[in-house]
Amino acid sequence: MSDAAPTLLETLVEKRSALADEAATILDTASTEARDLTVEEEARAAELNDEMRGLTKEIELRESIERSRFAAADASKHVTIKSEPLTYNRSGSHSYFADLAAMKGVQLRGVSQDEATARLQRHAAEVDVEMPKRHKAREQRAETEMRGITGSEVSPFEKRAGSRTDGSGGYFVPPIYLIDDYIALLRYGRPFVNASTRSVPLPVGTDSINIPKVTTGTLTGIQTADNAALSNQDIVDTQVTAPVKTIGGYYDISIQALEQSGVHQILDQVILQDLIADYNLQVDTQVLNGSGSSGQITGVLNVGSINTVTYTDASPTAPNLWSPLAKGLSQSVQNRKRGDGWKAVMHPRRWYWIMAALDSSNRPLVVPSSMGQYNPLAENADPAAEGFVGNLALGVPVILDGNMPTTVSSNQDPIVYARGDDLMFFEGELRTDTFGEILSATAGVRFRVFNYVALLPRYATSITSITGTGLAAPSGF
């Protein structure tokens, strides 16, 4: 009996088979007892049928992709992954990027092409096993942030099992230990994207995402008299479209650095960490404030017909901000007709300005939950540069994001209410590749990183922007 871990495709097939067995048992039992299905049996049979249909579609898609996968990944399917150390790890002796270069034919001392290819093949198999385990944790991250619970950091670049995401095939995913390190960012990261959008794998082979949207619904009403006509109205729909954009960059390094680096892990981090840190920053900045032109995403602040509140104040104070915050939440809830899932996103300077507010007795208006509350504006958690920091007294979690623009009308930083379930952020699989010929004249190698992304706000009313002179740059913050 093989001790190799079953592939996700095999697991899906087994699950479908189990569902089919359960459905057959229900039907056989009723037939043996010469009776019709009970209401509960009929409902369960229908549920099983729906699940099997969904699994069949996913199995067919995965089988199609699997047939066209890159030869190295295909050859690595049979590698047995047990509990050995990962091929590329902090204490290992091989460089991921040196192996990428060697696999592409770049001549490096001490790194053979065959050995490098074998390591990369094994790495591809390891990623297929390890990354799907992290996907569920990635989905739970926003919830733990909102409640102020410190959870394990999960990369925004987890590899979806079966390579269903755009960009799969012919490219390798960076080592897991490097991906983990990227959460400790050198720049502001992507707190808005991580905490205030719904992460969705980008479908394969598409330049735009289109989702139907109902603009006019059906109609019911009082019947004015017996036999009088009932109300009637046809559904009218349209579609919401989000174009797929590309974000990426490259890094040039000398062959001497690849060959002579004493610590391969540091070399890999130097090559990739800065690229990924800036990728995170660019993604978040685009989702917040992209113009929609020149290849940019249309960011939430530039989506048409969003809710807006203007806070005009020549001498703004944190207590004076309370009314615009309440008005913004009122517009959000009324226009979207949902009160759940909202988060307030602001620049760090705005939050810490609010935290500095004192009442007439010089008591802070933002205090921890462990302290006695007396007319607080908000309740703060642990200090942070980005991510969850507390809750407004309005009941809305606060997310700090240093990528929020601070140049609106010269010096203002807006506050945004966003309902993340309505903001669908599509992200492909991070792609890395190597080019030796481009810099052959200077004995250099080029490493490239890029990805496909798209933002689709299902409803413009899921976004509320608070701007105005009252949000001009606060002195000292």
List strand residue ranges (DSSP E) for 157-286, in order.
198-201, 208-216, 236-243, 245-254
- Whether the pLDDT of residue 367 is over 90: the answer is no
pLDDT of 239: 80
Cα Dmax for the chain: 92
Highest mean pLDDT among 17-21, 27-31, 463-467: 463-467
Highest mean pLDDT among 78-92, 116-130, 231-245, 461-475: 461-475
- Whether the pLDDT of residue 39 is over 90: the answer is no
Q: What is the pTM of this model?
A: 0.65
pLDDT of 407: 93
Measured in whole angstroms, the distance separating CA 288 from the mean position of its chain's CA atoms is: 14
pLDDT of 76: 47
Nearest to 356 by CA among 380, 391, 375: 380
- Whether the pLDDT of residue 156 is over 70: the answer is no
pLDDT of 459: 92
CA-to-CA dists, residue 249 to 97, 171, 245, angstroms: 15, 15, 14
Share in percent of the chain as helix, strand, coil (round to 5): 40, 20, 40
Residue 191 CA to residue 391 CA, distance in Å, equals 16
pLDDT of 152: 37
Q: Tokens in use for 9?
A: 């495709």
Q: What residues does each domain of the chain span?
A: 8-67, 70-204+243-477, 208-241
The sheet carrying 307-310 orders its strands as: 307-310, 463-467, 415-419, 342-346, 397-400, 387-392, 378-380, 366-368
Sign of the C-alpha dihedral computed for residues 460, 244, 156 and 134 taken in this order:
positive
Mean pLDDT score, 35-63 = 82
pLDDT of 72: 45
- Whether the pLDDT of residue 34 is over 70: the answer is yes
Query: To 5 degrees, how large is the angle CA 31–CA 37–CA 43?
Result: 135
**DSSP tag of 260:** H
**DSSP tag of 301:** G
SS3 category, 392? strand
Q: Tokens in use for 287?
A: 């989702």
Q: Which residue has the higher pLDDT, 306 or 34?
A: 306
Nearest to 417 by CA among 344, 324, 468, 476: 344
pLDDT of 175: 62
Residue 255 CA to residue 116 CA, distance in Å, equals 16
**385-413 exposure pattern, b = at least 16 Cβ within 10 A, e = fewer:** ebbbbbbbbbebbbbbbbbbebebeeebb
pLDDT of 313: 96
Residue linked to tokens 């009252």: 470
Residue 342 CA to residue 392 CA, distance in Å, equals 11
- CB-based contact 458:424 (threshold 8 Å): yes
Q: Tokens in use for 437?
A: 């010929």
Percent of the chain with pLDDT over 70: 77
CATH for the 70-204+243-477 domain, from 1.20.1050, 3.90.1690, 3.90.320, 2.60.40: 3.90.1690
Mean pLDDT score, 251-263 = 72
Stated as kind and residue range, the H or E segment containing 366 is strand 366-368
Q: Which residue has the higher pLDDT, 457 or 164?
A: 457
Specify the range with the lowest mean pLDDT, choosing from 175-189, 266-280, 437-451. 175-189
Query: To 5 degrees, how large is the angle CA 161–CA 155–CA 15?
Result: 25
Highest mean pLDDT among 92-96, 350-354, 372-376: 350-354
Nearest to 65 by CA among 108, 121, 7, 112: 7
pLDDT of 148: 45
